[in-house]
A = this chain, B = another copy of it.
Amino acid sequence: MAADMTFKVLNESVGKVVLIKLKGGKVIRGSLQGFDQHMNLTLESSEEMFAEGKTNPLGTIIVRGDNVVLISPPPGGQ
């Protein structure tokens, strides 16, 4: 059912690299390990990505869901 797709897509993304855009413009890429009903996300091997192609390693992180604008697989998928 279309109304249940959000968590189905998140569930299928577990173990894959996702790109997260946060409020305020921060962009983070990492391997999705888990999530919860608030869209809190756990990422492994994550890194912050900057406009000029530089990255800053963040390791394992928890992202609080209310900061998330959108979640996507990176261009080219994985």
**Contact B72 A62, beta carbon cutoff 8 Å:** yes
Write out the residue numbers on chain B whose beta carbons fall within 8 Å of the beta carbon of A69: 22, 26, 63-64, 67
Judging by beta carbons under 8 Å apart, are B6 and A35 in contact? Answer: yes
Q: How large is the interface on A (under 10, 10 to 19, 20 to 34, 35 or more residues)?
A: 35 or more
Contact B36 A6 (CB under 8 A): yes
Question: Of residues 50 to 78 in A, which have CB atoms within 8 Å of B's CB atoms?
Answer: 57-73, 75, 77
What residue of chain B has the Cβ atom nearest to residue A76's Cβ? B59
CA distance A6 to B61 in the complex (A): 10
CA distance A64 to B11 in the complex (A): 15
A71 to B58, CA, bound (A): 10
Q: Which 9 A-B pairs have the closest CB atoms?
A: A5-B34, A61-B72, A2-B34, A6-B40, A62-B71, A2-B14, A5-B42, A6-B36, A64-B68
